[in-house]
Amino acid sequence: MDIPAITTRSTCRVCYSDKLTPVFSLGNLYVSNFIAKEDMHKQVKAPLDLIFCENCTLLQLKHTAPQELLYSGFYWYRSGVTETMKKALRDITTKIEKKAKLKEKDIVLDIGSNDGTLLRTYTIPNLVSVGVEPAKNLADEGKKGLSHFINDFWTIQNYNKAMNGKRAKVITAIGMFYDMEDPNQFIADIATALRDDGIFIAQLMCLKNMIDTNDVGNLCFKPDTIILGDNKIMSDVTKGNFAIGKNGTLVKVNSTMKRAYKGDMIRIKPKYLQEIVATPEHPILIVKKEFLRNECHQIRDKIGSYKPEWVNARDMRRGDWVVVPKLKHNKKISSLDLTKHNRIDSRGYRNGLLEFPLTEETAWLLGMYIAEGHIGGQKDNPYINFTLHTKEKSIRSRIDTIFSSLGYTISTVYPNNRKSMEVRVTCAALSRALTEWVGRGARNKMIPDFIMLAPQKIKKSFIQGLFEGDGYIKGKKIHYHTSSKVLALQVQLLVASFGGLLGISYVKPYKRIIRGKPVNSKDSWQLRGTSPELSNLFDLNHKTKKFRHVFPYHDYYLVPVKQVSKEYYDGVVCNIETSDHSYLVSNAVVHNCHEHLEFYSFASLEFLFNKHGLDIFDIEINDINGGSYRVYARRKDSSVKQSPAAAKRIAKVKESEKDLNKKEAFLEFYNRLEENKKRCVDFIAAEKAKGKRIWVYGASTKGNTILQYYGLTDSVIDAASERSPEKWGRYTVGTMIKCVSEEEARKANPDYFLVLPYAFFNEMYEREAEWRAKGGKFIVPLPKFRIVK
């Protein structure tokens, strides 16, 4: 099964420190794109999880989508689309011409040159203009009027191949410097290509302004969520523990996260599984219902090719399919070491059992112990006890045979006036080991990992012992009941590794009679099912119909979602990060919890530049893209001078950013984002309920992220007004909003335009004066939600 993969950082992109602290997540979003409707199933998602480097203070994304996916094929943004951006680019070249004292034949290099707008705004004649742009669709337009055009990613090798090693007087990187997976190599190559008297200019989003103005385009589960592997509730999971990942094997927990949360939780109920309750942004692996439908108890593959994808919990629907992995039969263990369980300092110690062989017979014994066993006696002299019915003599005999092979003798006790017998064996080391392996008390019973991941024959014997002791098998029916939720989840997953799926359901407490006395039961769980695969597992000879409501596929089951609902929650939520970025919740695969990879403060930017022999000698702050830095850098041995005014500007920026060296500032920022999102989404929902027509204005790349983060789809947004003809007739990825021309949008005369490229709002406001005169209003989602008439 082709599961989308992404790259995860374990060290900082700039300083390579491993002191990375999770900050917050905006969820798992589609990589920004505008698509044909039939291509939706081909799109790729990536998490937007922010982490903070405690060493160099760089705020950055934890995961990386391939650059080739983002930039080399078809890139939608055009520098020359808005007058605001064209004026800003002209401002850059005007200042460069003065600072760099350009003259004929000087090389001016623009990295990420897009459609070539910046390079064409230089006024000095006969400059050697070089554009570097990987997007293939921009090549024809991007090379117009340029001396050289490199239709590839920036590397010193690509540059030297085109320019024969000639160095540039000016290098610019505008609005793209924060997209580098390897910024060290990027800057090192720039330093190599820059003349001794050259200037490098980078313009990038201002981190402080982003935080101050809420400019952005998940901790995810309740603390009592059970994580199989080390079999703990999520709040108790720690770094170094293990969980079961998407491939049915153990994965290491690399970090844990926890914070206060107040808001909606999404409750997802798949058929046969326990509910999954997650924050709206948490990614869950599914196959969408468009690909597979369950009709008349027969599963139909609607399209002919389907793949699982990561979808936010809030975007899941009834009829989608969650993914349940089949455990691997691959962990071969011949025996288990009991040395640490032999307490030589205890009273009455004698040579104990040093190892426990793991065979089909002892696996059956472990299953029987979980079903019918407990540890009795004193702490220093415990014994193993099996409680059986007096008619279960064959089970007693098999227990006797197994312990005899280990060198131990059983004893049998018959309590007065009861139809039961207690089979006991004194083996202190094994008693202590069993407590560690499977827990103590019925509510704490669990299956050890060496069984969950054992070879197939060992697993089968264990399951047969478990069900022989505590299960019910009659005719087609296979049934198991337990007061341990962990055990219930494990049994379901373990049995599924043989090709059959038992449905699991919660049983409320009820009154029952035990040993002649009324007892109020506790919470419990039952598993039931029937299928040919289950019949084979339990050596049943009858025929059964196929399991109709799940879809076995390679190493997975696809299980349909019955219901999706919301509930309000005010409390703590948790998340974990694992080595393969997945774990199981209710046995369904979920993710740990595209835009820019780095968010630079001046301090983190200066750290990077200095590392490669570049010195920032001037800085400007402008309002492009909601607030940007424009930094001017020289070689450390350069003849380029710094003015006193420039030194003051740098000192002022450093002072303003002194609070950005701690992650707390970013957590406050996230809380403001969530509050702002709620206000906007609630307003749109209320207006839509009144019958108002709401359109997007400006289907931008950042806008795609905003739509997904806000959960605004074609169910509430009618269409998107867009200037670029290339996008007309296409759809916003993940939210499926159709893009049309501005002319068509004006004819439709919607009640509201939701402005996605909000940094250019003033220009758009003036452009739509006629529409506003008819009563139209703008919804501006960021930096602060507002309605503008």
What does the alpha-carbon distance between residue 566 and residue 415 come to, in Å, rounded to a whole number? 52
665 has a pLDDT exceeding 60: yes
Place of tokens 């997945």: 582
Cα 14 to its chain centre, rounded Å, is: 23
Most confident of 127-131, 425-429, 731-735: 127-131
Percent of the chain with pLDDT over 70: 85
Instruction: Fill in the DSSP letter of residue 367.
Output: H
CA distance 641 to 334: 73
Cis amide linkage into residue 783, ω under 30° from 0: yes
For residue 484, give both structure tokens: 């341990």
Percent above pLDDT 90 for the chain: 42
Lowest mean pLDDT among 240-249, 342-351, 641-650, 660-669: 342-351
Express each pLDDT in 170-221 by its tens digit: 999 987 776 677 889 999 999 999 999 999 999 887 777 667 655 543 446 7
Highest mean pLDDT: which of 32-36, 87-91, 384-388, 478-482? Answer: 384-388
Please give the pLDDT value at position 762.
81
DSSP reduced 3-state for 81 = coil
Q: Which amino acid is at 52?
A: F
418 φ/ψ angles, rounded to the nearest 5 degrees: -135, 150
Distances from the Cα of 786 to the Cαs of 142, 695, 711, 721, 761, in angstroms?
Answer: 37, 16, 18, 20, 12
User: Residue 127: phi, psi to the nearest 5?
Assistant: -70, 150
| 257 within 8 A of 592, measured Cβ to Cβ | no
Query: What does the pLDDT look like over 24-69, one tens digit per residue?
Result: 887 777 665 666 777 666 666 667 788 888 888 888 888 776 554 4
The per-residue pLDDT for range 667-724, each reduced to its tens digit, is 778 888 888 899 999 999 999 999 999 999 988 777 888 898 899 999 999 999 988 8
Q: What is the pLDDT confidence band of residue 71, given thresholds at 50, 70 and 90?
A: very low
Strands 556-578 and 321-325: antiparallel
Q: Which two tokens stand for residue 696?
A: 């997007």
- Pair of tokens at residue 268: 């997802």
What domains can be seen in the chain, in order of their start residue?
83-212+598-661 (3.40.50.150), 333-445 (3.10.28.10), 677-788 (3.40.50.720)
Q: How far apart are CA 17 and CA 53, in angstroms?
A: 7
> Based on the number of CB atoms within 10 Å of its own CB, is 229 exposed (0-12), middle (13-18) or buried (19 or more)?
buried
Which is nearest to 566 in space by CA: 275, 335, 780, 188?
A: 275
Mean pLDDT of 436-465: 93
Helix 485-496 crosses helix 456-470 at what angle (to 10 degrees)?
Answer: 130
pLDDT at 404: 94
For residue 567, give the H/E element and its range: strand 556-578
In the chain, the largest separation of any two C-alpha atoms, in whole Å, equals 109
| pLDDT, average across residues 504-521 | 77
Q: Is 566 helix (H, G, I), strand (E, B) or coil?
A: strand
Could you give phi then psi for residue 599, rounded to 5 degrees?
-125, 100
Map tokens 């009834």 to a residue. 318
pLDDT tens digits, 269-306: 999 999 999 987 677 888 888 777 665 545 555 545 56
**Would you give the distance in Å from CA 227 to the centre of its chain?**
16
- Residue 59: its H or E element: strand 59-61
Of the spans 404-418, 543-557, 736-750, which averages the highest pLDDT? 736-750
Residue 230 token pair: 């080390």
Residue 393: phi and psi, rounded to 5, are: -70, -30
**Per-residue pLDDT at 78 exceeds 70:** no
Of 246-260, 756-770, 772-786, which has the strongest mean pLDDT?
A: 772-786
The answer to whether residues 13 and 181 touch, using CB atoms and an 8 Å cutoff, is yes
Three-state SS at 631: strand
| Chain centre distance of CA 432 | 39
User: Regarding predicted confidence, which is higher, 473 or 502?
Assistant: 502
How far is 63 from 46, CA to CA, in rounded Å?
A: 7
For residues 707 and 737, what is the distance between their CA atoms, to the nearest angstrom?
10
- 3-state DSSP: the chain helix, strand, coil percent, rounded to 5? 30, 30, 35
d(CA 379, CA 347): 10
pLDDT category of residue 3 using cuts at 50, 70 and 90:
very low
Dihedral angle computed from the Cα positions of residues 583, 589, 595 and 597, in that order, rounded to the nearest 10 degrees: 20
Is 570:262 a contact under the CB 8 Å cutoff? yes
pLDDT averaged over the chain? 84
Q: Count CB atoms within 10 A of the CB of residue 338.
A: 18
Phi, psi of 220 (to 5 degrees): -135, -25
82 confidence band (pLDDT: 50, 70, 90): low
**Between helices 360-372 and 428-438, what is the axis angle to 10°?**
70
Residue 45: CB atoms within 10 Å: 23
- Distance (Å, whole) CA 482 – CA 393: 24
